[in-house]
Amino acid sequence: MAIRKIGVSFIVLVIVSIRCGHSAFTPADSYLIDCGSLTNTTIGDRVFVADVSLSSTLTPASNNLANTSSSSVPSSYGTALFQNARVFTVPSSYSFQIKAPGRHFVRLYFFPFVYGSYDLTAANFSVSTQDVVLLRDFQPQAKSAIVKEFSLTITLDTLILTFVPSGSTSLAFVSAIEVVSVPDELIVDTAKIVNPQGKYQGLSGQLLETVYRINMGGPKVLPNDDTLWRTWDTDQEFLLDSQLSRSVNFSGNINHMPGGATEETAPDIVYSTATELAASSNTSNARFNVTWQFNVDANSDYLIRVHLCDIVSKAAGDLLFDVYINTWLAAGDLDLSSMTLQSLATPVFIDYVLEADHASDRLSVSIGPSTLLDVLPNGIMNGLEIMKINGSAGSATVITPLGSKKNFVIILVPIVGAIVVAVVAIILCLVLRKRKLAKQYSKTWVPFSINGLTSHSTGSRTSNGTAFTIGQNGNLSYRLPFVVLQEATNNFDENWVIGVGGFGKVYKGVLRDETKVAVKRGNPKSQQGLNEFHTEIELLSRLRHRHLVSLIGYCDEKNEMILVYEYMEKGTLKSHLYGSNLPSLGWKQRLEICIGSARGLHYLHTGQAKAVIHRDVKSANILLNENLLAKVADFGLSKTGPELDQTHVSTAVKGSFGYLDPEYFRRQQLTEKSDVYSFGVVLLEVLCARPVIDPTLPREMVNLAEWGMKWQKRGELEQIVDSRIAESIRPDSLRKFGETIEKCLADSGVERPSMGDVLWNLEYVLQLQEADSSSMSEVDSINRITEISPLVQNISTSDTTPVREVGTSVLNDLSDVSMSKVFSQLIKSEGR
């Protein structure tokens, strides 16, 4: 069969337009073609060039141009682009010189109409590039304009778009074409797999077809108002029940942060509007989900990008909510502020992949309130993109221009048989590969075993209820029967809750022998929690120290994940500093608490063969017993899941903001010195008795570490000391304390002292405080010495305890964020 080919070689028409209102991303390649038109068409600030003016090699216009006078093209793009079309009765292609290989948007515009003998409403055709089929047997019958957007990575120096009518009687057409460069970072390589949870890798090479792009709670965004000329639709028509939600419109500025979403990720108008749960400010009566539902093709993988920006909270940490995809929990107790260094109105996005095995022809995305008790029920979503992965992979028909720019004839060899064989082979390959991938995931995820405690899956954990020991050297941790804990906590009485976090709730409990305990009950839904759970049992049963909160037992019956700790009567150090009615602590009490916690941390760093890095040192993780003895808590877990070896989105460095080591944040390399930094912030907090981040204060005061260092560097730290203790601090003691803080907060880790040095310095601060009043403090010092000696012993004896390596890299999968609130991760630094 001889066919005619249109070789359109475009002289590049890169229109570098500085567009007002945008931080202009300038695409290296930008082809805007108004197909079948005799005149250029200007849309907003972009000029779509008439394809007749681009090449002298077109077939006679009358043969393949079509136009309509219909001025009522139903389209939000305006009618101009849709009133002309180029019609193909034989396979034909456009080729584009690509200057900058990488990710590009290819947008194809269609509007079917009847023109003479051409009935475009009956068109049936495929469109492909050299590698992939973009549209297969596509029939744009709809009486409205259609824009198909694809995002693909182009590696060759030419992109060839081929239009192939399906069958000999059908025809193909196109109204306009865009081929535009996109920042490569727009699509990150990895995403979270929704179910079963896991990591999807290799997105950056994939063809993506945009199926929905939604601006929640806001107006439709047209290409000229978008940083990458995308269109964002409104969400109203997708809401299952619009009564349950309301729109939010934010008038302040959107604060972009490095590592978060950029202006190219989505325009500010997307982030400054949102749909939120229509909960009243009334606490209890808003326990419902808001759901958006979309029609999709089953049998395809989808990339679901959720755009989030907390424009509703008054303070960081106020907003915690759940995100579901279909019925699966995608993010539980999501705390945006912990992804954004506590700043509000900072945009982030999270990518999920829903695999074809789980797709049906309805895809729903929901937000729902956190089930935690101490947060108001709310939830928001700012934007949503749903992209089909490998839109329609398969064998592509490519009509390659054969050198000549003139009309020419190419022969399509009848190789249909060969093509069929190839297609079958490719499909088989894909299927097999996918199975294999799926297997790998289940292999790496499910079984988990720690000396003798083996579990195969959440469903089959052993539950014989007999107690046995784990750990060595007499470090006993017992498996406790569930009924015992039910009894101890008055059947998990909500009134006995003493704390809540991402992992679950913490209850006060009393065992039969009158031992008071803290019972942390994990959310059984979380598979990742299971891994953390086992790791925490293993590690905690080996780390024993007077200044570390110890594990008494655990329960894994009936899919429960319960950890039982010693009860710390006086609660957190933080609650004794501010925000409660507890009596103020004196300077000496505060110093002793600091010294105790420093000992606990020093033991973590040096007491084992490999250093253990706490990662979430803060005043809320320092607990006090009835004698105000400080113990470090929540030195949770390292995960062993496969998603650990790499970062996901560049957000989520772990830890708590305000305490977070800026060097760790910058370099993402964790050392013990990050704990030292955080501890320096705790010391300041102890001195000043105010929150480490307080957004209600004037700007320069918001961050305690900055504010404190400013005064320390001026030598006037006394100006900001908690007024309740200011009188009693001796100047020498304060000076030394300030110097210690300053060293801990040094910019670079190598300049910071070790925890051992910090401990020594704090002891010295205490001596300076007591120096003059030695006569009255003899008793105290003796007490102190007796306190120290058993500890020294403790450190040296436990040196021999072997510790299993638990994964050396840290990582920042967003799901960790909420988890880390209760279970900070415990990391053994490499190379020690």
Interface with ligand NAG in residues 320-359 (CB under 6 A): 324, 327
> CA torsion sign, 765 to 766 to 767 to 770?
positive
Task: Give the closest residue to 46 by CA, choosing from 54, 34, 55, 35.
Answer: 34
Interface with ligand NAG by CB under 6 A: which range of 387-395, 501-509, 512-520, 639-647?
Answer: 387-395
**Considering only 388-396, 465-473, 638-646, 707-715, which stretch makes contact with ligand NAG by CB under 6 A?**
388-396
Q: Pick between residue 206 and residue 733 the one whose CB is nearest to ligand NAG.
A: 206
Q: Taking CB under 6 A as the rule, does residue 368 contact ligand NAG?
A: yes
- Compute how many other C-beta atoms are within 10 angstroms of the C-beta atom of residue 291: 18
- Specify the stretch interacting with ligand NAG by CB under 6 A; choose among 148-156, 221-229, 287-295, 728-736: 287-295
Q: How far, in Å, are 311, 477, 572, 631, 804 from residue 634 at the CA level?
A: 30, 17, 12, 10, 19
- Tokens at residue 816, please? 């960790």
The bridge status of strand 92-97 relative to strand 8-9 is parallel
In sequence order, the β-bridge partners of residue 153 are: 103
Rank residues 271 and 324 by Cβ distance to ligand NAG and give the closer one.
324
- Listed residue (220, 224, 222, 254) closest to 234, CA to CA: 220
- Quote the distance between the C-alpha of residue 714 and its chain's center: 39
Nearer to ligand NAG, 289 or 340 (CB): 289
Subset of residues 430 to 449 that bind ligand NAG, contact rule: CB under 6 A: 430
Task: Give dist(CA 498, CA 489) in Å, integer.
Answer: 11
Q: How far apart are CA 617 and CA 633, in angstroms?
A: 9
Both tokens assigned to 77: 């793009």
- Please, which residue, 208 or 725, has the CB nearer to ligand NAG? 208
- The DSSP letter of residue 82 is G
Contact between 491 and ligand NAG by CB under 6 A: the answer reads no
Residue 495 within binding range of ligand NAG, rule CB under 6 A: no
Binding of residue 398 to ligand NAG (CB under 6 A): no
> Could you say which DSSP state residue 547 is in?
T
Residues 6+ apart with CB under 8 A from 496: 489, 490, 507, 508, 509
616 catalytic residue (yes or no) = yes
Task: Quote the least distance from Cβ 313 to ligand NAG, whole Å.
Answer: 18
Q: Pick from 301, 538, 643, 661: which binds ligand NAG (CB under 6 A)?
A: 301
Written as six digits, the tokens of 33 are 């073609």
Show the tokens assigned to 426: 């490719």
Indicate the SS3 state at residue 419: helix
**Binding to ligand NAG in span 412-431, by CB under 6 A:** 430
Does 167 contact ligand NAG by CB under 6 A? yes
Q: Does 166 bind ligand NAG (CB under 6 A)?
A: yes
Work out which of 9, 67, 486, 589 binds ligand NAG, going by CB under 6 A.
67
Name which of 322 and 675 has its Cβ closer to ligand NAG.
322
Minimum CB distance to ligand NAG, residue 285 (Å): 6
State yes or no: residue 393 binds ligand NAG (CB under 6 A).
Answer: yes
Task: Choose the catalytic residue: 226, 333, 556, 616.
Answer: 616
Among 2, 16, 69, 513, the residue binding ligand NAG under the rule CB under 6 A is 69
CA 419 to chain centroid: 42
Q: At 201, phi and psi to the nearest 5?
A: -125, 150
CA distance 499 to 508: 9
Total residues contacting ligand NAG by CB under 6 A comes to 36
- The answer to whether 250 and 265 have CB atoms below 8 angstroms apart is no
- With CB under 6 A as the contact rule, which of the stretches 284-292, 476-484, 673-681, 794-802 interacts with ligand NAG? 284-292
Distances (CA, A) of 349 to 248, 319, 648: 18, 16, 11
DSSP string for 174-218: ESEEEEEE--GGGS-SEEEETTTTEEEE-GGGS-EEEEEEEETTS
Provide the edge-to-edge strand list for the sheet that holds 290-295: 290-295, 362-369, 321-325, 328-334
Q: Which of 21, 23, 26, 39 binds ligand NAG (CB under 6 A)?
A: 39
Specify the residue, 142 or 771, whose C-beta has the smaller distance to ligand NAG.
Answer: 142
Q: Output the smallest distance, CB 303 to ligand NAG, in A.
A: 11
Looking at the DSSP bridge assignments, the partners of residue 338 are none
Return the residue matching tokens 């797709």.
359
Q: Least Å distance between CB 669 and ligand NAG? A: 33
- What's the one-letter identity of residue 558? K
Q: How far apart (Å, rounded) are the C-alpha atoms in residues 701 and 694?
A: 8
Q: Which two tokens stand for residue 219?
A: 């107006």
Q: How far apart are CA 275 and CA 291, in angstroms?
A: 11
799 near ligand NAG (CB under 6 A)? no
Instruction: Provide the mask over 193-212, with x wherever binding to ligand NAG is found by CB under 6 A and - wherever it is not.
Output: -------------x------
One of 162, 273, 671, 703 touching ligand NAG (CB under 6 A): 273
How many whole angstroms separate alpha carbon 566 and alpha carbon 632?
A: 12
Q: Which residue in 169, 282, 495, 696 binds ligand NAG (CB under 6 A)?
A: 282
- Spatial distance between the Cα atoms of 783 and 657, rounded to a whole number of angstroms: 36
Kindly tell me which of 435 and 724 has the beta carbon lying closer to ligand NAG. Answer: 435
- 520 labelled as ligand-binding? yes
DSSP 3-state assignment of 598? Answer: helix
Under rule CB under 6 A, residue 13 binds ligand NAG: yes
* Closer residue to ligand NAG in complex, CB, 171/594: 171
Q: Which of 288, 635, 659, 677 binds ligand NAG (CB under 6 A)?
A: 288
**Residue ranges in 106-145 that form contacts with ligand NAG under rule CB under 6 A:** 124, 131-132, 137, 139
Least distance between ligand NAG and beta carbon 712 (Å):
42
Minimum CB separation from ligand NAG for residue 715, in Å?
Answer: 47
Please report whether residue 235 would count as binding ligand NAG according to CB under 6 A: no
Asked if 249 is part of the footprint of ligand NAG (rule: CB under 6 A), the reply reads yes
Give, as one character, the DSSP assignment of residue 106. Answer: E
Least distance in Å: CB of 792 to ligand NAG? 51
User: What are residue 462's DSSP bridge partners?
Assistant: none
Residue 72 interacting with ligand NAG (CB under 6 A): no
Closest CB to ligand NAG among residues 311, 670: 311
Question: Which residue, 195 or 273, is less far from ligand NAG as judged by CB?
Answer: 273
Which residue's C-beta sits nearest to ligand NAG?
166
Q: Give the residue among 233, 230, 219, 217 at the shortest CA–CA distance from 263.
A: 230
Give the nearest distance from C-beta 648 to ligand NAG in angstroms.
19
For ligand NAG, the binding residue among 71, 72, 117, 285 (CB under 6 A) is 285
- Kindly report the number of other CB atoms within 10 A of residue 562's CB atom: 23
Closer by beta carbon to ligand NAG, 299 or else 462: 299
Minimal distance, residue 205 CB to ligand NAG, in Å: 6
CB of 580 to ligand NAG, least distance (A): 23
Cα distances (Å, whole numbers) of residue 527 to 201, 367, 459, 559: 20, 20, 11, 10
Does position 379 interact with ligand NAG (CB under 6 A)? The reply is: no
Q: Is the dihedral of CA 784, 787, 789, 793 positive or negative?
A: negative
SS3 609: coil
- Shortest distance, position 563 Cβ to ligand NAG, whole Å: 24
- Is 287 an interacting residue with respect to ligand NAG (CB under 6 A)? yes
Please provide the size of the chain in residues: 832
- If the CB atoms of residues 287 and 667 are measured against ligand NAG, the closer one turns out to be 287
User: Residues annotated in the binding site for ATP, as ranges?
Assistant: 520
Residues that bind ligand NAG (CB under 6 A): 13, 39-40, 49-50, 53, 65, 67, 69, 124, 131-132, 137, 139, 166-167, 206, 218-219, 249, 251, 273, 282, 285, 287-289, 301, 324, 327, 366, 368, 389-390, 393, 430
User: Residues annotated in the binding site, as ranges?
Assistant: 520
Catalytic residue set? 616
